[in-house]
Chain A
Amino acid sequence: MPLLKVTWQGRQRTLSFESDPSLREILDTTDSRVRSGCRGNGRCGLCLVQVEAGTVNEPTENERVGLTQEQLDQGIRFACQVVPRHDLWISIVNPAPASNWKSIAMHEYFSPLESPTIVNTQRQGIRLSTGVAIDLGTTHISITLWDMYGGKRLTGRSGLNQQLLFGADVMTRVVAANESVERAREISQLAVDSIGEALFDICSREGLNPRDITHVSIVGNTPELALLSEKNYDMLLQPKFWTRQIDCQPGNTRPWSVAWHVNPHAVVDIISPLAGFVGSDLLAGVLATAMTAQPKVSLLIDFGTNSEMALWDGFTLLVTSAAGGPAFEGSGLSCGMPAVAGAIYKIEHDEYSQDFTFQVLAGTDPKGLCGSGMVDLIAYLLRAGALDRKGKLTGEMPSEGFPLLKGSRGIVLTNRDIDIFQRAKAGIGAGIRLLLKSADMTTKNLERVYVSGAFGRFLNVKNAQDIGLLPRVQPHSIELCGNTALAGCEMLLVSPDRLIEMESIRKRARVINMSNHSEFEELFLENLYVKPMETD
């Protein structure tokens, strides 16, 4: 892939890119964005960059109109009109203010929805109507905007959920909400504000009118939806409700519409969760993968702070969840970080040179490991004999841990990091094994495994299987799906008839509460080991 060198505000980075999107689209997936005010058609003239070295396409008609001859001579261009195909060095003339929000990269989307086949026929006649699909996650919020008339995705953003102020995991937030009604209001407001910020970022940068937004659909895990709606979050502290339905429908969404500056008559739909710890994000993922629409035995694993799993045996959808903490999102680990700029997401080791090669998100200096990088490193250490199956670093290892990068800004994988990772892994492994046992099956019955969530598409399947994070099935039957929750939410937004499908998924679902099973502790212990998952 060609390389793009970017200089902005005294900083510099190099990133690789696919030679198809415009320069602005490439920059938008990073935190070095250029200012903009239209949908990238060369009209607003804000996205000024200067070509320092390299060849690019000739200036377009819009650029000839919008830029002076002197500017053109200096190599000043509109980033949206430049489609780089070879190595290039540019500097950003007009940088955008720092923002929590960045464009969702193509690889984070679940592919089936990229084809514009979903055309909504029911809403014809409305001249302009924009819809918003939201996946309200514990750590990240992902939002896409849709042209409801044409059934086309316009753009998407993801950013951190500001509720992080009240704790990295949902339980801490739920406990905080239970302190007082005012506190609960505050926590809800943080989610509302986060969504509002994302919509402002989208509309101001893409030149869209928020008033055109007439529909908003939201999926999420149950605690997040309950906290957003300020309803029944107290039930989540009582285990008896964890497998029961919890009403998360908000009373009046008008204040949200006002805060978001969307159409005052906008319809805001919260897609109801299935139970206390099985959210509508998982149901949406099931819908998006269409796993229940076919007879194959299939498993969906949605990796997150609260990981959820669904097993389809051809008749029933068995679902469960494991609160393993945000290890897969890189939080809580001394060397971990979320999948944002600076995160090492792929590690390879050369046996001859004994060197590691990293791939770092957004091409910046490596700052830490995100989930998929962690999987690669642990699998490598296991293979190299530097880590035993119990998860302890062996041999001549420095007491602080394994130094992946040395120096003052070094990255060290500690025993404690591995322990936290093992626990998160064990919850999921135990969940998968328990779902299979409940269906009287083994991993050998699995014909398809869908992996969605924090890992995006970066996960090395073989490494994940080696350390027991994914079941040992043929690697080609494992599909890395990106964000399936968002994909399902988009389907529900654009094609309301999908709600019927959703209801039938709901009817076929059976919630399994792991901690009620006597085998749980045994399975948890078995899956704490860093070794391939059992197949019996």
Chain B
Amino acid sequence: MDALINALLVGNGADSIAHSQRLLHAGVSVERIVIEGIEEAMTSLDEKCTVSQFNLLEIMLVGRSVTDVMNYLYPGGSLPAGSKDTVVLATMEGDIHDLGKNILKTVLMGKGYRVVDCGKDCPLQKLVDVSEKESPLAVGISGLVTSIIPLVKQVRGSLRARGLEQVKVMAGGAALKQSSAERLHVDYLAETAFDGANYLDRISGGAIP
């Protein structure tokens, strides 16, 4: 398991898959690989990623190897029932920078969440439709340009209008971070992808069983 964690942390996708394969053959369950391998690696990355040690390349590489392993463990992308909650992610219409959203996606997948990705330049309507279908724990929206702020402000209201008031709305990204949760009409404004993921951990452990 330690070998898998190390391979994930140095961002070696091929090695990570090889180690996962070995573990599976040795009879280790997929769930244990996710919880004791991938989640452990993500926690360790979280600790490493203090502001002073943050390195974008490192995170992107870990993200890729985690994605590789997840795709290997769950071919077709569907997590089995009984896994953690679902989170719907989107980069809002008018914004085509989805690097931040993709990092969050990786972190959440690594933590065992089921992630439904609405992609970039996502219209509000699509986000609400997908949320209605997936009944997620939360909706995560990221933005690099401030022009999407008016759209972000409408998300919670639009979800409520469809009777989805239990769905929490979380925002993050360079443009949104400068604002506040109150001003954006969201439930949480995440400083980093890890901060956002920790918030989801808190609320998923709480209100929703």
Contact = CB atoms under 8 A, between A and B. Distances in A.
Interface of A: 171, 175, 178, 237-240, 390-392, 400, 414-416, 418-419, 422-423, 515-516, 521, 524-525, 528-529
B57 A414 contact: no
Contacts, number: 58
A415 B53 CA distance: 6
B99 interface: yes
Contact of A237 (B51, B61, B147): B147
A419 B56 contact: yes
Interface in B3-61: 11, 51-58, 60-61
B145 A237 contact: yes
A529 B94 CA distance: 30
Contacts of B61: 390, 525
11 contacts: A171-B146, A237-B146, A237-B147, A238-B145, A238-B147, A240-B94, A390-B55, A391-B58, A521-B102, A528-B56, A528-B60
B99 A419 contact: no
A391 B94 contact: no
A237 B144 CA distance: 10
A515 B53 CA distance: 27
Interface string B174-189: 0000000000000000
Given A237-B145, A237-B147, A238-B147, A528 B96 contact: no
B95 interface: yes
B97 interface: yes
Nearest to A416: B52
A525 B146 contact: no
B57 A528 contact: yes
A238 B52 CA distance: 32
A126 B96 CA distance: 53
Interface string B81-101: 000000000000011110100
Given A422-B57, A528-B56, A416 B94 contact: no
B95 A239 contact: yes
Contacts of A175: 146
Given A390-B57, A515-B97, A415 B147 contact: no
Given A240-B94, A416-B52, A419-B55, 16 more contacts: A237-B145, A237-B146, A238-B145, A239-B95, A390-B57, A391-B58, A392-B55, A400-B52, A415-B54, A416-B51, A418-B55, A419-B57, A528-B56, A528-B57, A528-B60, A529-B57
B168 to A, nearest CB: 27
A426 B96 CA distance: 18
Interface in B104-149: 145-147
Nearest to A235: B147
A57 B200 CA distance: 77
Nearest to A516: B96
B150 to A, nearest CB: 11
A419 B95 CA distance: 24
A430 B74 CA distance: 32
Nearest to A237: B147
A175 B179 CA distance: 12
Contacts of A391: 55, 57-58
Contacts of B11: 390
A292 B96 CA distance: 31
A415 B55 contact: yes
Contacts of B95: 239
B39 to A, nearest CB: 23
Contacts of B96: 239, 515-516
Q: Which of B53, B54, B146, B147 has the most CB of A within 10 A?
A: B147
A423 B56 contact: yes
A400 B58 CA distance: 18
A281 B36 CA distance: 54
A334 to B, nearest CB: 9
A414 to B, nearest CB: 6
Contacts of A516: 96
A60 B52 CA distance: 59
B106 to A, nearest CB: 12
Nearest to A515: B96
B9 to A, nearest CB: 11
B94 A239 contact: yes
B58 A392 contact: yes
A238 B102 CA distance: 21
Contacts of A400: 52
A240 B53 CA distance: 35
Contact of B56 (A178, A422, A515): A422
A415 B97 CA distance: 25
B92 to A, nearest CB: 11
Nearest to B146: A175
Contacts of A238: 94, 145, 147
Contacts of B146: 171, 175, 178, 237
In the A-B complex, the 4 residue pairs with the smallest Cβ-Cβ separation, listed nearest first, are A237-B147, A528-B57, A515-B96, A419-B55
Contacts of B53: 415-416
B178 to A, nearest CB: 8
A391 B54 CA distance: 11
B52 A414 contact: yes
